[in-house]
Structure 1
Amino acid sequence: MKKLIICLVVAILCLLCYFLLQPIFIYNFGWNPFSVDHKSRNEVIYDSSFANSILQAQQFIEDSITLKTPALSVAVGIDGKLIWASSSGLANIDSKIDATPNTAFRIGSTSKAVTSIGLGILLEQSKLSLDDTIHSSIIDKSITIKQLASHTSGIRNYGMCFCFPVWEYYNNDEYASIEAAVKVFNDDPLLFETGTDFSYSSYNFTALSAAMEQAAGADFTAFMENNVFHKAGMTNTSFDKQFVNVDKAEFYDIQTNIYKKAFEVDNSNKWAGGGMLSTPSDLVKLGNAILNGSIIKHKTFKTLTTPVKLANGEVNKQNYALGWRAHEFDMLAKKVNIVHHGGTATGSTALWIIIPEYNLTAAIMINRSVEGFPMFDMLIPMVEYFITDLKANH
């Protein structure tokens, strides 16, 4: 009997360890041989006057692809028009399904930039002000909308929890409401006095989306769909739920010449900050709408993309604005201001940029996780081809 009890205890402890540390256990099993084949390409050329740029960009992808990703998708827009969209590789390795420009990827934290446009709409409607303190029914701390959107609130990021699995980043519980997701971190102390420092945390945008929901008088996801996605013509953008009506890629982990499907997660704890699905073409459509002032005013976008200063008067360490980063890049022998946001998610990586000086927007996505963030090295050289062509011929 004693041996039986010991065996049962050991079995229970083993099961408990498995469910607590499930991502680690799963990561080490189920790998399959993988080889990159980017010969399959689906593209749409919307403006043939940029044929030279497009040819150079295509060649750049073929010559310099080092990410070993199943699929890569990219799109470029200029002067309010979608110029080019191209997808290479496989959306689903096992089923041999090619990626197309309509294939949706997880965009991770790039969701924050999309959410900021919804915030801009509410600001213009005077339903929210950046200096508004979020309602006590959302979170029991005195934090402003501006502090949430700029990561200067002091709210912590993902951590460990008494949950299965033990890491909040790999959440696979479905939250019934944003309020329920906020409760995960609501009782935790702030990392610093609000406004005095910067600490990047997607939970800021979870709280922000609750405030937006209250101000709009509508479910956050419905508000974004009706006021941002539909208005910008984003037909392949949605929230990463189990059943969504979009052509969604499969998401992968890659190691040298092997692959496996990424750990299954539920993103209902971070819709606004990291839970959207989209395509490069859809982000470019939204970028075009931003640049031509048809979705929010240029003045509002300037507010959203101006890096926020801390209480000491210094700009925060990431040049972070309200859902965007803003930096000067060396492009074609000159400094160019680019507003941007990248995102990493389980099995997917994305980058969206807007260059107001050239009225240009572009996005790139892959269906694999990567270490570091190499997306600028892929997207910026391609964008330079279009800028060169734009200067020469348009």
Structure 2
Amino acid sequence: MTPTPIAEPALATSRRGLLRGSAGALLMSGLAASAAAAAAAPAQDIDAIIERAMKQAPFPAVVVAARKGETDVYRKAFGYIDLENKVAATTDDVFPIGSVTKTMTGLSVMQLVAQGRIGLDDTAATYLDGLPPAIGALKVRNLLDHTSGLVGYTDVPGFPWASQRPFTRQEVVGWFADKPLQFEPGTRWSYTNSGLYLLGLIIEKVSGASYEDYLAEHVFKPFRMTNSSMAGWERLIPRRAHGYLVKAGALENAPRYDPLVPFSAGGVLSTLDDMMKYRRGVFGDGPTTPQVRQLIQQQDKLKDGLVLPYALGCLAITTFEGHRKIGHPGDIFGFSSQYSYYPDDDLTIVMFSNMQNGAMPLISLEQKVARALLGVPQPTIVDLPLSKSLGESLAGSYEIGEIRFAVNEMTFTFKDGALYVAFEHGPPIALRHQGGNEFVSSLDDEHRFRFDTHGRPARVFMSYYGSTFEATRAEAR
């Protein structure tokens, strides 16, 4: 990385001025050298972090941009956006951003809320005809913050993962609209694409424009995001990355998809620069009004009073290593992304990769990069022996509580001196003992587990995807 040079002051014309100027030049030269050295240190650390992850995941390509204020502090591309033709990645490449699209859907809804055209407590049936009564009765706010209870349409058995044929909006809604709600709306948080799909349809109904055209006119254009779109695979897009999946331990091409399948839950393509413009347009001196900015950061509560870590603007609002963090991850058909903004540090990190299901999610890599830029030491990971008595005492099935992400239960088993975790029907993953009741995944050391055995029933706190999920041992039931 080339550090931003520090401009030297103009030299005075008098002898005293020349002497002062010479001393100033020496001083500024020293400061510039110090700044360059300081900038080089985290840059080298980040290079090493990403290069290790490229092999571990393995990521075909990773592109990264980090900006403090309006100054780039890190910007680099690794690997290939096209493995078959060995096309090297650049920081100008176009990637599908997956669920980071949800933040744009949330922003669009709040623009219309601020105009009085959508009400947060209005029901889906206020805007959309033909929905089953239970679905039609869901409030807009429940669709925004994943408290609706809707089944995720990508989780429905028979979802056409490998199909490349075009689909209609009605077909996609049909995959989930006739399924019973998983819980009473407002009593739990469970991540689902279905609510965001309905919000895209509501945006279309209220605005009179297609979702794609609405984003183009009210987000991409005013934010000057000239390389962002909802493009399908038919359109030729220079520097578009190719997506990959891991299967049987090897990379293979990811299936292509009709953009109406992810739609308002994950259909946008973008670049690092455009996402930086997006952050500035929303949180900086861009066209987003204070009212809309406040609305997208509003955090509702569950019926029991628990404040949700997911705001109405489809933004995860958390604290990472003592620093406030706002953002969203994304995964879609061979691609992953991470959009993070640390407001108190005025630091934005955007990362893209052209792989979806590797050993670690991209957000885990972003957390390591964030530590390097925030001056936070990386955790020391160890491999300590685990006693049979402790391992067996922690084993069992644990039900995830009110805040859920993709799974409802995890099971821990003790075997051959190690603890393993399995998520519902997934394979067991070995855990590395960090001492006491703390463990990390052998695949991703940002995936952490801390057991609390003092009370009954025992609990485990899982740190994953930038959030903490609490689960209780099933013996309580």
> In structure 2, how many angstroms separate the alpha carbons of the residues matched to 1:359 and 1:206?
31
Q: Could you tell me which residue of structure 1 aligns to residue 87 of structure 2?
A: 97
Helix, strand or coil at the partner of 1:288: helix
One-letter code aligned to 1:148: L
Is 1:156 matched up with 2:148? no
8 Å CA contact retained: 1:237, 1:276: yes
1:207, CA displacement in angstroms? 0.2
Is 1:259 matched up with 2:248? no
Q: Could you tell me which residue of structure 2 aligns to residue 108 of structure 1?
A: 98
Question: Which runs of 5 or more structure 2 residues have no equivalent in the other structure?
Answer: 7-34, 377-477
Aligned mate of 1:348, from 322, 331, 335 = 335
Aligned mate of 2:346, from 328, 341, 359 = 359
> In the TM superposition, what are the counterparts of 1:110-149 in structure 2 within 5 Å?
110-134=100-124, 135-137=127-129, 139-140=131-132, 141-149=136-144
Q: Could you tell me which residue of structure 2 aligns to residue 315 of structure 1?
A: 307
Pair 1:80–1:302, CA change in 2 (3 A): farther
Is 1:382 matched up with 2:369? yes
> In structure 1, how many angstroms separate the alpha carbons of the residues matched to 2:50 and 2:165?
38
> In the TM superposition, what are the counterparts of 1:78-89 in structure 2 within 5 Å?
78-80=68-70, 84-89=74-79
1:387, CA displacement in angstroms? 4.0
Helix, strand or coil at the partner of 1:238: coil
One-letter code aligned to 1:291: F
> In structure 2, how many angstroms separate the alpha carbons of the residues matched to 1:310 and 1:180?
31
Helix, strand or coil at the partner of 1:182: helix
Aligned mate of 1:193, from 184, 193, 208 = 184
Moved more, 78-87 or 104-113: 78-87
One-letter code aligned to 1:167: F
Pair 1:100–1:251, CA change in 2 (3 A): same
Pair 1:295–1:95, CA change in 2 (3 A): same
> In structure 2, how many angstroms separate the alpha carbons of the residues matched to 1:168 and 1:64?
31
Q: Could you tell me which residue of structure 2 aligns to residue 208 of structure 1?
A: 199
1:351, CA displacement in angstroms? 0.9
> In structure 1, how many angstroms separate the alpha carbons of the residues matched to 2:71 and 2:115?
27
8 Å CA contact retained: 1:253, 1:260: yes
Aligned mate of 1:370, from 317, 339, 357 = 357
8 Å CA contact retained: 2:57, 2:358: no
One-letter code aligned to 1:126: G
Task: Name the % identity.
Answer: 23
8 Å CA contact retained: 1:171, 1:267: no
Pair 1:55–1:297, CA change in 2 (3 A): farther
> In structure 1, how many angstroms separate the alpha carbons of the residues matched to 2:74 and 2:248?
31
> In structure 2, how many angstroms separate the alpha carbons of the residues matched to 1:349 and 1:341?
11
More strand per residue: 2
More helix per residue: 1
Pair 1:115–1:146, CA change in 2 (3 A): same
> In the TM superposition, what are the counterparts of 1:287-302 in structure 2 within 5 Å?
287-302=279-294
One-letter code aligned to 2:282: I
1:261, CA displacement in angstroms? 0.7
8 Å CA contact retained: 1:281, 1:363: no
8 Å CA contact retained: 1:241, 1:266: yes
> In structure 2, how many angstroms separate the alpha carbons of the residues matched to 1:138 and 1:358?
47
Pair 1:243–1:204, CA change in 2 (3 A): same
> In structure 1, how many angstroms separate the alpha carbons of the residues matched to 2:249 and 2:175?
38
Q: Could you tell me which residue of structure 1 aligns to residue 50 of structure 2?
A: 61
Q: Write out per-residue CA displacement over residues 122-162 of structure 1, whole angstroms, 9 at most, x where no aligned residue.
A: 2222222222222241634211111101111121113445x
Aligned residues: 335
One-letter code aligned to 1:206: Y
1:70, CA displacement in angstroms? 1.3
8 Å CA contact retained: 1:138, 1:211: no
Q: Could you tell me which residue of structure 2 aligns to residue 24 of structure 1?
A: none
8 Å CA contact retained: 2:156, 2:176: no
Is 1:274 matched up with 2:266? yes
> In structure 2, how many angstroms separate the alpha carbons of the residues matched to 1:276 and 1:376?
19
8 Å CA contact retained: 2:65, 2:351: yes
1:289, CA displacement in angstroms? 1.8
Q: Could you tell me which residue of structure 2 aligns to residue 232 of structure 1?
A: 223
> In structure 2, how many angstroms separate the alpha carbons of the residues matched to 1:306 and 1:83?
30
8 Å CA contact retained: 2:335, 2:353: yes
One-letter code aligned to 1:58: D
One-letter code aligned to 2:51: E
8 Å CA contact retained: 2:107, 2:292: no
8 Å CA contact retained: 2:65, 2:75: yes
8 Å CA contact retained: 2:99, 2:329: yes
Helix, strand or coil at the partner of 1:239: coil
Aligned mate of 1:327, from 306, 315, 318 = 318
> In structure 2, how many angstroms separate the alpha carbons of the residues matched to 1:188 and 1:212?
23
One-letter code aligned to 2:47: Q
1:388, CA displacement in angstroms? 4.8
One-letter code aligned to 1:72: V
One-letter code aligned to 2:340: I
Q: Could you tell me which residue of structure 1 aligns to residue 64 of structure 2?
A: 74
8 Å CA contact retained: 2:97, 2:335: yes
The higher radius of gyration belongs to: 2
